[in-house]
Chain A
Amino acid sequence: MRGRSWIVWIAVVALVAAFVVAVARPKSDPAGLPTSGNVTNVQLLSLQKSGARVLDVRTAAEYEGGHIAGAENVPIEGFTQAAQAWDRATPVVVYCATGARSLNAAQWLSANGFEHVYDLTAGIVAWDGELSHEAATAVAQAPSEPTKLPVFYEFFTGW
């Protein structure tokens, strides 16, 4: 009997260890979401809630016509240049109207070292959540706002 009790103890310890590993694993993926790839509307919201950036790669006019609340507008035309200096560890979700432009953006991000890249493949045409009609962020809106003085913008790099 004493020999059998040791076997039972070993089995219990093994079960506890397996449980601890199973509980610990979700730390890297708290919402049970994929680490990269295509996402649904619901998954996009979960990712956004957990700190992912949501990027609308359509034009400014399309963005202002209605976009996912909290999304940043980075049109595909200047996307790669804008993305050069972004933090590659921050999860990024991209979307456009139907998934064509966002696919290009997602592929570029993945090829350029971004660790967690998600694409809302169905695009905003299939979005069933609320749409924000706020204009682009204050920064993006600035160019069309009248100012007291004419403005001279210079975009440069240090090299």
Chain B
Amino acid sequence: MKPVVDRLEKEYQGKVEFRRYDVDKDAEGQKLASRFNAQYVPTFVLLNKDGSTAQTLVGEMPEARLRAALDALR
């Protein structure tokens, strides 16, 4: 998924903040993953500006699916 998310991160720069965590190495990522109940990798959690959860996507995702979720963020 890395090349896809890398591409999206560039494309949505200034519109969406990307926070990416390797849960094997990053303690902060582990805490956040627990907080979001992310049991599997990869898991994508998309939050609106007001902090509400817009979508949680689990597993490998087609780029178009991620793009649609990003476009739906408020």
**Chain A residues engaging chain B, CB cutoff 8 angstroms:** 60, 72-75, 77-79, 81-82, 84-85, 136-137, 139-140, 142-159
Contact = CB atoms under 8 A, between A and B. Distances in A.
A52 B18 CA distance: 33
Nearest to A141: B35
A151 B17 contact: yes
Given A81-B39, A157-B22, A152 B34 contact: no
B1 A156 contact: yes
B16 A152 contact: yes
Interface of B: 1-2, 5, 8-9, 12, 14-25, 27-39, 41-51, 53-54, 70, 73-74
Contacts of A136: 35
A48 B66 CA distance: 43
B32 A152 contact: no
12 contacts: A75-B37, A85-B23, A143-B32, A146-B50, A151-B16, A151-B19, A151-B47, A152-B44, A152-B45, A153-B36, A155-B43, A155-B45
Contacts of B38: 78, 81, 155
